[in-house]
Amino acid sequence: MAARVEDQRARRGYIGGEFVELEGQERIPVFEASSGEVLAEVTEATPSDVDRAVRAAQRALPEWSARPPAERAAALSSWHQAIEGRAEEFATSISREVGTPIRHSRSIQVGNPLAILAHTADALTSMTFTEQVGNCLVALEPVGVVGAITPWNYPLQQVVAKVAPALAAGCTVVLKASEVAPLTAFILAETAGAAGLPPGTLNVLVGRGELTGEALVTHPLVDKLSFTGSTRAGRRIAELAGSLVRPVTLELGGKSASLVLDDADLATAAKFAVYNAFLNSGQTCTALTRLLVPRARIREAEEVAAATAAKLVPGDPLDEATRLGPLASESQLERVRGYIRLGIEEGARLVCGGAAPPAGRERGYYVQPTIFGDVDPGMTIAQEEIFGPVLCIIGHDGDDHALEIANGTPYGLAGAVWSSDQQRALAVARRLRAGTVEVNGGAFSTEAPFGGVRQSGYGREFGRYGIAEFLTPKSLQL
C-alpha cells in the first residue's frame, strides 16, 4: 500500500508569503504512479483565489523590482541553498508523483533546477540594464506580474525555469502548478519562504487549466504569461492572451529526430537514442523519439536499440536499481497504449515491447519500452508526440533526405546529429528546424537558450536569454 501524504499545505495555497485557506472546495486526488493509489488530495483554486494571489504579487512588485540586480541574485543564491538542503525530499516526491526513477530524480529532476538557479544568478550579475543609444538612455525594466503555468513531467525544473528568471528580472510571480504532480510545488513554496524571498514575490496555486489556468491567463493585472505544456493548450493560451494583447512565452510539444549520418558510429548513436527517448519514461518534451538511420543499416540499428531497451526493465521508481519507471497517470497510460496499438494498425513492425503491461507490473501506470521498425515518416506515430517510452526507427537515403524527414513534422523543439566529421555534423545541425540540437551527444545545457520554433512554441528559457523574456525596454529621450 502507498503511504498516503497527509499534508495540510496541499489543501491550501501559498499567497503573500504564507499558506492560506482557499475559497475553492473541489478536491483533486493525486495518484502514486507506481501503484495507482491516491497519494494525496489538493484543493483546486478558484478565480477568486487567483485574484488574491495576483493582487499579492502586484503589491510585492514595487519593492522587489526596485532592488538592485545584485540583491536579487543573492536572493536566488539563498533559494538555491534552501532547495539543495531538501534535495532528497524533492526527489522522493517527484518519483512518487511522476514515476521518475529515484536516481534520475536526484540527478536530473532536482539537479537541473539547481543548475538553472545558479546560472540565472550568475547571468544576472553580468547583465547590463541600461545603454546609451543616440540621444536616448535605454533601460530594461521588469515586465510586471507574471503568470506561470507549468506541466507535471518535470515539476521542479519547469517551475524554476520560469520563476527564477522572472524574479531575476524584478518581476513577481503567480504559479499555477499541475494538478497531476502538485506536491513538489508546495515544498518549493516552503523553501522560498525559508530563503527569505519577500512575501508576494512567489505565489503558488494548483488547479485544472479550464478553471484555475484560464482565470490566471485572463486576469487583468497579469502582465506576462509563461506556459509549458501541450501544443493544444498552448494554442488556447495564445488565443486568450492575444485578445488581451498580452505577451506569452510558450514551450510546447516536440517530435524530435536523431539523424545518424552514413559515417557515424551507429552503435553509439542508437544506444544514445534509446536512453534519451526513454528518459523519464519518455515523458520529456525534447525526447529524441525518431531515430533516422541510413536505410542499409536499419536492421543493425534495430538490433542495437532492442538490446539497449532490454536493459531498461520497468520497476519501482523508489528502487535505486530502477532505470525505467511508470508513467505519471492513468490517462497518460491509456494515451501511450493507444498510440502503440495505432502504430501496429498502421503497419509499423514491433521490434520490441507492445501495449500489454510489462510482466509483473499490472498495477500502476507501467508501459513496456517499445521500439517500432518499418515506420513510414507519415505515420501517426512518426508525426505526433506520444510522450511515452516509444521509439520509431526510420530509414533515410542521405543527408538531404534525413533532413526532409526530420523537418517533416509540425514541431521544432530539439534534435540530434551524429557524424564522425564534426563540421559535417554542424552543417546538418544548422539545417534542422529546431531550437536545440545535440551534436554527437553534446550535453544538455541549462545556461544556453532553450525553446522551440513552429508548433513547439516561441520565446526562450535559461540564463540571460530567459531573464530577457521578462524585461521590456524603455527609451528615455534626452
At 83-135, the pLDDT tens digits run 999 999 999 999 999 999 999 999 999 999 999 999 999 999 999 999 999 99
- Of 285, 302, 385, 392, which one is the catalytic site residue? 285
Residue (of 76, 367, 15) closest to 200 by Cα position: 15
Percent of the chain with pLDDT over 70: 98
**Residue 13 has which C-alpha cell?**
495555497
pLDDT at 4: 59
Instruction: Note whether residue 2 is domain-resident.
Output: no
What kind and span of H or E run contains 13? Answer: strand 13-15
71: in domain: yes
CATH code for the domain in which residue 41 is found: 3.40.605.10
The average pLDDT across 225-232 equals 96
Residue 170 included in any domain? yes
Say whether both 138 and 19 belong to one domain. Answer: yes
Q: The domain spanning residue 361 has which CATH number? A: 3.40.309.10
Q: What would the grid cell of residue 69 be?
A: 540586480
Q: How far apart are the C-alpha atoms of 389 and 379, rounded to whole Å? A: 17
Q: Quote the CA–CA distance of 459 and 359 in Å, as a whole number.
A: 43
**Residues 113 and 240 occupy one common structural domain:** yes
H-type alpha helices, 346-462: 380-383, 399-406, 422-431
Q: Report the distance separating Cα 89 and Cα 66, nearest Å.
A: 34
284 shares a domain with 215: no
202 and 190 belong to one structural domain: yes
pLDDT of residue 161: 98
**What confidence score (pLDDT) does residue 336 get?**
98
Q: What strands, in cross-sheet order, belong to the sheet with 136-142?
A: 130-133, 136-142, 471-477
Question: What pLDDT score was predicted for residue 24?
Answer: 86
Any domain includes 81? yes
pLDDT at 3 over 60: no
Whether 80 and 120 map to the same domain: the answer is yes
Confidence band (pLDDT; 50, 70, 90) for 1?
A: very low
Question: Could you tell me if residue 1 is inside a domain?
Answer: no
Asked whether residue 76 is domain-assigned, the answer is: yes
In 284-422, at which residue ranges do the beta strands (DSSP E only) sit? 288-294, 349-352, 370-373, 390-396, 414-418
Q: Which of the following is catalytic: 32, 97, 179, 251?
A: 251
Q: Are residues 340 and 248 in the same domain?
A: no
Residue 377: count other Cβ atoms within 10 Å of its Cβ. Answer: 19
Same domain? 212 vs 106: yes
Q: Is 285 a catalytic residue?
A: yes
463 or 8, which is more confident = 463
216 within domain boundaries:
yes
Same domain, 215 and 273: no
**Cα gap 268→237, rounded to integer Å:** 40
Specify if 385 maps to a domain. Answer: yes
Alpha-carbon distance of 422 to 444, in angstroms, equals 18
The domain containing residue 302 runs over which residues?
256-446
Are 337 and 363 found together in one domain?
Answer: yes
For the question of residue 251 being annotated catalytic, the response is: yes
Count of the separate structural domains present in the chain: 2
Domain check: are 211 and 265 in the same one?
no
Is residue 219 domain-shared with residue 305, that is, in the same domain? Answer: no
pLDDT at 392 over 80: yes
If one counts every other C-beta atom within 10 angstroms of the C-beta of residue 341, the result is 12
**In this structure, are 58 and 21 located in the same domain?**
yes
